[in-house]
Structure 1
Amino acid sequence: MIFRGWCAYFFRMTTTKKVYLTPIGVRGMTVLDRDKFLRNLMVPILKVAENTNLSKVTQSCRSFFLKLDNFKPVQDLAGDELFKKCIYLNPEKISDWTDIPEETCTALKAYEIDENNFDSREVELCYENWSYETIFKAVLPEGKEGVSGFSQIGHIIHLNLRDHLLDYRQLIGQVLLDKLKTCRTVINKDNVIDNTYRNFSMELLAGEENYIVTVKENRCNFKFDFSKVYWNPRLCKEHERILDFLEEGDTLFDVFAGVGPFSIPAAKRNCTVFANDLNPESYNWLNHNAKYNKVDMNHFQSFNLDGKDFICNIFKEHIIQTCPNEDNKSKIHITMNLPALALDFVKYFKGLISDANVMADFDIEIIVYVYCFVVEGNDAMDMLNISMGCDMKKYVIDIFNVRNVSPKKDMMRVTFKLTKEVLCGIKDCDVVSEPPAKKLCVDVDNTDKNIS
């Protein structure tokens, strides 16, 4: 009797071996072969009689469904007179009736579903049934970082692949093209940076060579050529934060405007906008988007200048003309969203206005939002002080961590007031003659260059 019981236990253990829902035999594939993803496996099922309340049964065991792409977990059961439907269960969770939690079993028995309804059936799975995550897990090198994330801009999937994945890039591109319905183009950013306009070059991995996209953000539509300008969808929330600081009648100076994620929505909110970008492609799309979104052009001006010239000429002229207006109670906001280089430009605000008569009546609140990359061991406040050549602590309103770029690198926003003292040269503040022994983070960053 003991021997017979042991045999039954051994048989159950060997026939209920856990099944993993992954393709097999495809590790290291660099050229996509969809036929290699064919796999047959035994899957547990629950057989359901015709007169059973199917909706109640499925509700009870929904968390154990076999969920795969292009696969219905509830199907007709052909060739069985007693049972008309079957529910396919996930073999990674369920291999035997006893694997089903007691409370679920109790609920099922209320609808006359018990271990007699439990069975298994062979299922043929193919490439169409596997998600891109499952395929990448089965194909790419074990123990190394996989395709951890990507951005989608319109119909374009934008990757930034690690070196160990470059041999797989064509396969990765094709799989994403197959699996994501809204994707028509997959590209990988490489390490070549155009230093003049600070945009990156890219490699087409799969799909159409079509880089003209339209995206929607903050109730505005932006159209642009993604291969010639920069757009980062991860900054949508930050754009929204800054826009919430603006009130109707305020003025915005967007020093590195890109295609307009700050400028266009600000203009739509009845702010006066001065938008600038050095890249002629960004400048052209900026103007296109202003018209595309029906911006009132009486309150919108665009410029194709270097940031220094924009500050030292356009902004300076506006301050000189605005200061005598005693009725002007609106604020001026200045966005400087080029985190790899923006701190190089804040120094041009210091001592910008030398005319004492102009500054005598200065009563305008000016707020600057400057972005920078801060690597481990550096401090955003110190970086601003070094750039300005003086202690700016008393003028700083906020230092905000926008997002993590890499394990040792963050994108930060430093918000400070541009006061009369700063514009006149801050003669009464402590000058930083010897900067701290820290490296100013202005290196080209291949992940977030020329973010706009």
Structure 2
Amino acid sequence: MGMTLVRSLFLIIHQKMSTSSSAILTPVGVRGMNVLDRAKFLRNIKIPVLKVADEKLSKITPICKQYFLKLENFKPVQSVSGEKLKCIHMNPEKIGAWTDLSEIDRKSLKEHSVNEDNFIMKDIELSYENWSYGTIFKAVLPENEDIVSGFTQVGHIIHLNLKDHLLQYRPLIGQVLVNKIKSCRTVVNKSSTIDNTYRNFNMEVIAGEENFLVTVKENLCNFTFDFSKVYWNSRLGQEHERILNFLKPGDVLFDVFCGVGPFAIPAVKKKCKVYANDLNPDSFKWLNHNAKTNKLNMALFKSYNLDGKDFILTVFKEYITNYCLGKEKLEKGAKIHVTMNLPAIAVEFLKCYKGLIEDEELLEKFDCEIIVYVYCFAAGTDVLAVAKSMVIDNIGCDISDNIIDIFDVRNVSPKKEMIRVGFKLGKEVIFSAKDCVSEPPKKKLCVDN
């Protein structure tokens, strides 16, 4: 699914719905409609038209293009039955009379023997098929209110978070989107919070088929999954790409909360060795499915279905220990990367790195570079400072000198940002004596957007 559609949808999301009832190209008499009634969208309007000879059309069209009447399922240039003429339909909200055309354009038209005599007003009937979903929403939903929040598309599914004042319009909103967006077959309304262990949303199908199996393409890889059982956010595509650009062939990636593999799968494609983990059994299932369908070199890929804490304390610890013992090798210049994309509580798992290895004999043999990318939600006047403080507080010692980047990934809500903190995980943490810092949560019970 291309991001162009996602961006175009967002143009409607946050604007206030205020439309004058006198607007010409707007349905009338449908405000407050709960269930779609297409017949009520019929409207007769007068449209300015230029009648021109067929042979002159190629010269006239470039002059008039800016005035075209652009509607869905409507051709602005139409033939006149039984005559060698074309009708150029113009936007009545721009043009009401011949003199509304710019002086330059009128002069250009006259050079092609087109003048005010060619200009007429014509009655046409517009129907539901001619209105865009944005125009319909403006005409139907409450004025001076936001339409939705969190409106995007994953494969054939459009998912949205309807605010309370819009819940009564669920059937109409869903049906309009299914009708108007060709690639959409299912519309769901989902809770704005992730309220269980496995980071999947509670959702209600409000239009279309009850089919949650989707395939999306991102970073040259295909990802198939059941959207109702795993976490996927199309708005993180660029962030996935940013991290992948940090990775070089021969690097090692530990993906602690990997989901269905948006970091892990492309990383293997870049010839990195990847250890991917997720607690959700459905994410684990689709992670392995995607590894096969993307034809990964399985010698570079290992997957785990563990709690994040257990993954760090076993798999990650074993790798670092074996590296210090010479049982694991890194290519010259290669780095170890750790991604921790569970922004609601990922910072709490940083406690696991403190005193991870107790064997002091390995301290002198530790010479690898480990970079951790941990995500969190932050609010306040200085969200970057808040994120930095969260990382330091949870890891249990001041690693300010080892922080290499603090990046604002995206705005989650008016008072919340998703932040990525990148830092070098050094021996002063891994071989540090454990203190009384509390344990991270065993389960990934979280609130997310």
Normalised by the size of structure 1, how large is the TM-score? 0.88
Deviation at 1:191, TM superposition (A): 5.2
CA distance in 2, matches of 1:316, 1:86: 74
Alignment of 1:13-162 (within 5 A): 20-52=24-56, 54-78=57-81, 84-147=85-148, 150-162=151-163
Q: Which residue of 2 aligns with 1:383?
A: 390
Alpha-carbon contact 2:374-2:422 (below 8 Å) kept: yes
Task: Give 2:358's aligned residue.
Answer: 354
User: Quick check: 196-205 or 183-192, which moved more?
Assistant: 183-192
Superposition TM-score, scaled by structure 2 size: 0.89
Residue matched to 1:15:
none
Structure 2 match to 1:206: 207
Alpha-carbon separation, structure 1, partners of 2:369 and 2:108: 66
Deviations 1:186-223 (A, max 9, x none): 10102564422122110000111110111111111111
Deviations 1:291-344 (A, max 9, x none): 111111111110000000000110000001012447643210000001111011
Moved over 6 A (4+): none
Q: Which runs of 5+ in 2 are unaligned?
A: 1-21, 438-443
- The one-letter code matched in structure 2 to 1:304 is N
Distance 1:107 1:322 in 2: 77
Where do 1:146-185 residues align within 5 Å? Answer: 146-147=147-148, 150-185=151-186
Q: SS of the counterpart of 2:362?
A: helix
SS of alignment partner, residue 200 of structure 1 = coil
> Do the aligned partners of residues 64 and 410 (structure 1) sit closer, same or farther apart at CA in structure 2, a change above 3 Å counting?
same
Secondary structure in structure 2 of the residue aligned to 1:235 = helix
C-alpha separation between the residues in 1 aligned to 2:27 and 2:192? 33
Return the alpha-carbon distance in structure 1 between the equivalents of residues 330 and 189 of structure 2: 52
Aligned pair 1:261/2:233, yes or no?
no
- Count of paired positions: 416
Distance in 2 between residues matched to 1:383 and 1:149, nearest whole Å: 26
Distance 1:131 1:114 in 2: 33
Partner of residue 3, structure 1? none
* Superposed counterparts of 1:356-371, under 5 Å: 356-371=360-375
Which structure 1 residue ranges, 5 or more long, are not aligned? 1-17, 434-441, 448-452
Which has the higher Rg, Structure 1 or Structure 2? 1
- The aligned residue for residue 12 of structure 1 is none
Single out whichever of 99-108 and 154-163 deviates more from structure 2.
99-108
Aligned to 2:403: 396
State the SS of the aligned residue for 1:398: strand
Within 2, Cα distance between the matches of 1:286 and 1:443? 21
Asked if structure 2 preserves the Cα contact closer than 8 Å seen for 1:340 and 1:445, the reply is yes
Letter in 1 for 2:259: G
Amino acid at match of 1:23: P
SS in 2 for 1:343: helix
> Displacement of 1:407 after TM fit?
1.2
* Equivalent position amino acid for 2:111 in 1: A
Identity %: 61
The 2-side partners of 1:266 and 1:275 are apart by: 10
Amino acid at match of 1:396: I
Given the superposition, is the C-alpha separation of residues 327 and 192 from structure 1 closer, same or farther in structure 2, using an over 3 Å criterion?
A: closer
Q: Could you tell me whether the CA contact under 8 Å between 1:136 and 1:147 is conserved in 2?
A: no
Report whether the alignment pairs 1:287 with 2:291: no
The structural deviation recorded for 1:269 is: 1.2
2:413 matched residue in structure 1: 406
Q: Which moved more, 1:96-105 or 1:228-237?
A: 96-105
Q: After TM superposition, list the pairs within 5 Å mapping 1:290-309 onto structure 2.
A: 290-309=291-310
